Amino acid sequence: MSNFSNEYLRGLVLEDRVHRSIYTDPAIFELEIERIFGRVWLYVGHQSQVPNPGDFFCTTLARQPVVLSRDREGAIHVLFNRCGHRGARVLSEECGNARVFTCMYHGWSFQPNGELAGVPMRRDFPAETLVDPQFGMVRLPRVESYRGFVFASLNPHVKPLAEYLGEAIRGIDELVDRAPEGDVELWAGCHRYEYRGNWKLQFENMADMYHPAAAHASTVGPDGRQFKRRSGGTGGDAPFFAANGEAVVAQTGVRGFQGGHSSEASLFREEQAGGVWDEYRALLVAKHGEERTREILRNRRHSMTIFPSVDILIAQTSVRVIRPVAVDRTEVQVYPVRLKGAPAQISIDVIRFVNITHAAASFIQSDDLEAFERSSQGLATSGTDWVLVARGLGSEVDEGNGVSFGDRSSEVGQRAQHYAWRDLMSVG
């Protein structure tokens, strides 16, 4: 039960500003877990993380431990990581392979599809209790995949995944289409960073093209160029400042999507080219022809942020997963992506560049983490209750299908996130 009326919650997000309590109030955070994370589609993992029968990968959804698993027939499941007997968490390694998942407490075991497999001293239980599926490892109410990206929902009545993603589905396509085999793989582990701050600070940052000039000032060399952040003889780095002195990134456009998704235009103008990139391009041309290849490789989106759990990093060829832990604590994982069929060197380069852009020790992410923590400290002040998200308000262009475009680092993406937040939170 919420202590807040729907009307009150609705009033926390205005057209151009939001109330600071949405970042700081533990009671609002608890309600978010129920009304946002409990209601929409959440990214679980990628099918390549469980390639073989018996493979499992553990994560959390809405703070609850869950398991992504593959059963003997090859089907993928998402289960609550909870023993059907007395409720202990069953799997404690993050990933692995097992014929059955065995609970350490009393030795109950479960098939990778969640069904009860073994019960020590079985005959002492009433037989009918053990056939009830709720005493297996229970499946999440809804599970759907799109091009290998597995999503689940705690809400049995959630609309179909494709409908939830809407136009944002193109962000997944844009990444996966770049693989010559039309499929990607999360193969190189992940970066893990955490911060003392609300999860929305990370989400807003992923739609924020306004901050780099100030926040990432220390990444710009004496020649006015930012360090090279992706490989290729060309198309890897970009001048940081435009002729008029503004940061180039701050002149790029942003899109806000219905449902809270957002996307920034790419920072890059040129295709990655030279060396192995030419070989890669030839593979795509052989498969798709020149015209389609040019379309696939066009620098369109920097990333596609899917509210409220995942960011598809197109320019950096990786996937970022955001998990809320507490009102003031958030954990994030960044997985480099392998484009299947691409020359091996491309995947190696992705790993190396993501190390310097998105590791906890990287040149970019460490600045953003500092910004998140300083935001948390500042938002605790009581001088004013409102936080401005007005940049570009009134100059958005409606592109149809629930997409709103704003140029010059508009805060239209952040507004889309907050409007989605408001619409979910204010329905009891």
Partner 1 sequence: MASGISSRPRASRNAGARLAELQEFIEHEANLLDEQRFDEWLKLFADDGVYWVPARPGQESPLTHVSLFYDDKPTLKIRVERLKHPKIHSQVPRSKTVRLVSNFRLGPPTGAPAEHCVSSKFVLLEDRPGVERRLFGGRYTHRLRVVPGGLRIVSKRVDLTNCDQFFPSLTQPF
Q: Given the rule CB under 8 A, which residues bind partner 1?
A: 187-196, 215, 217-219, 221, 227, 331, 334, 336, 348, 351-352, 354-356, 359-361, 363, 365-367, 369-371, 373-374, 377
φ, ψ for residue 301, nearest 5 deg: -115, 140
Minimum gap (Å) between residue 239 Cβ and partner 1: 16
Minimum gap (Å) between residue 348 Cβ and partner 1: 5
Decide whether 153 or 362 has the Cβ nearer to partner 1: 362
Helices and strands (H, E) in the chain, number of each type:
13, 22
47's CB contacts (< 8 A; 6+ apart) are 76, 145, 148, 149, 150
The upper half-sphere exposure of residue 397, i.e. CA atoms within 13 Å in the direction of its Cβ, equals 7
Reduced to 3 states (helix: H, G, I; strand: E, B; else coil), residue 329 is strand
- The Cα–Cα gap between 353 and 229 comes to 6
| DSSP letter, residue 312 | E
Instruction: List own/partner pairs for 395-401 with CB under 8 A and 24 or more apart.
Output: 396/256, 399/255, 401/166, 401/167
Q: Return the bridge partners of 308, or none.
A: none
Minimum gap (Å) between residue 95 Cβ and partner 1: 11
Decide whether 337 or 416 has the Cβ nearer to partner 1: 337
Minimum gap (Å) between residue 335 Cβ and partner 1: 8
Minimum gap (Å) between residue 164 Cβ and partner 1: 28
Minimum gap (Å) between residue 203 Cβ and partner 1: 18
Minimum gap (Å) between residue 120 Cβ and partner 1: 33
Decide whether 71 or 331 has the Cβ nearer to partner 1: 331
- The Cα–Cα gap between 302 and 317 comes to 10
Decide whether 282 or 325 has the Cβ nearer to partner 1: 325
Pairing of strands 42-46, 254-257: unpaired
- The Cα–Cα gap between 133 and 45 comes to 24
Decide whether 35 or 191 has the Cβ nearer to partner 1: 191
Minimum gap (Å) between residue 347 Cβ and partner 1: 9
Reported as type and span, the H/E element at residue 184 is strand 184-186
Decide whether 111 or 318 has the Cβ nearer to partner 1: 318
Minimum gap (Å) between residue 299 Cβ and partner 1: 23
Instruction: List own/partner pairs for 339-342 with CB under 8 A and 24 or more apart.
Output: 339/178, 339/179, 339/180, 339/184, 340/179, 340/180, 340/181, 340/182, 340/183, 340/184, 340/185, 341/179, 341/180, 341/181, 341/283, 342/178, 342/179, 342/180, 342/280, 342/283
Reduced to 3 states (helix: H, G, I; strand: E, B; else coil), residue 340 is coil
Decide whether 162 or 214 has the Cβ nearer to partner 1: 214
Minimum gap (Å) between residue 113 Cβ and partner 1: 28
Decide whether 146 or 363 has the Cβ nearer to partner 1: 363
